[in-house]
A and B are shown apart, each in its own frame.
Chain A
Amino acid sequence: MKFGVFDHVDRGTSSLAELYESRLKLAEIYDRSGFYAYHIAEHHATPLGMASSPSVFLAAVAQRTTRLRLGPLVYILSLSHPLRILEEICMLDQMSNGRLEVGVGRGVSPYEVGYFGVDPERSSKIYTEAYQIILQGLQSREVNFEGEVFQLKNVPVAMECVQKPHPRSGTDCPIPTRFRGPRKTISISSAMDRPRRYARSPIAIGRNGSRLSDRAAAPCRYWGWAVIWSSARRPRRRSRSGSAPSAFGTET
């Protein structure tokens, strides 16, 4: 059993400087206590999330820790240009000596993407194209892409990751377009549009902490809380794993 930490870095009652310092000190404890990874949510314009740039926050975490893996959970692909995310992935993986654990999503809050002028109905399209661009950029020296949202021609990729061929999180798998759930087949977009129905938690960490030998399980890491939901519902598939939407506070 592995344990990780998921954190919105929500506003709290202390000053912002104190908040960040407290979280960084806690990360040091996670690091030496055997937690697998520290996952950070990206939120905007809300007290729910003060780590609106997961990369900035995790860059600091990387300098305070030595073995803890770092997980943007998730990078909201509808709010940043994919080349920017690609470069930040390379930077963080290098600055942490290969400890990055990438998660991506379309941006589940219509309000938050709305503040940026992004039509929530279009975010799935942006997300799908951006993911393909990032995936391509992590594995080549040049990006070429012709999509509805993005058109990129001969864009040089000047950086690379420590983890080869790319950071963990299933980027070596083909992008699935449909998943077969326990009762019926659901499309990615429908699962994303109805998260309450298909998942208890928007956790993109997949069935494992990314060392699962079953490569077929890998797509879940990126695409997959819908799949996590379905696999978690499937009894006695012991080679599968997932993440649980649990929060803990203990008392004496």
Chain B
Amino acid sequence: MNAGIVIVGTPDAVSAGLKREIGIAGVNYVLTRFAFGDLTHDESVHSLSLFTAKVMPEFASRPAYA
């Protein structure tokens, strides 16, 4: 997690981690994972809901260059 390879935590923590990594890499497309390992379907849906409601809007105004 310290290396930024995995970003996990509250919506605020994920937003901050994403901004940090995006700033370093200069990318405009980020791939995410919400379902892996032994996560249950409900857990994945919960993470996904938080991400779409509270994290994605933080990046809506950033140019996508596309």
Contact = CB atoms under 8 A, between A and B. Distances in A.
Interface residues of B, number: 46
A143 interface: no
Contact of B47 (A4, A6, A242, A250): A250
Interface stretch (A26-34, A80-88, A145-153, A180-188): A26-34
B65 A7 contact: no
Given A211-B66, A238-B26, A251-B10, A246 B36 contact: no
A176 interface: no
Q: How large is the interface on A (under 10, 10 to 19, 20 to 34, 35 or more residues)?
A: 35 or more
Contacts of A36: 29
Interface in A225-252: 232, 234-252
A64 interface: no
Interface string B1-40: 0001111111100100010011001111111111111111
> Main secondary structure on chain A at its contact with chain B?
loop
Contacts of B62: 1
A205 interface: yes
20 contacts: A1-B60, A3-B59, A12-B36, A25-B41, A26-B34, A36-B29, A210-B66, A237-B26, A241-B29, A242-B27, A243-B27, A243-B31, A244-B21, A244-B25, A246-B6, A246-B32, A248-B34, A249-B33, A250-B8, A250-B55
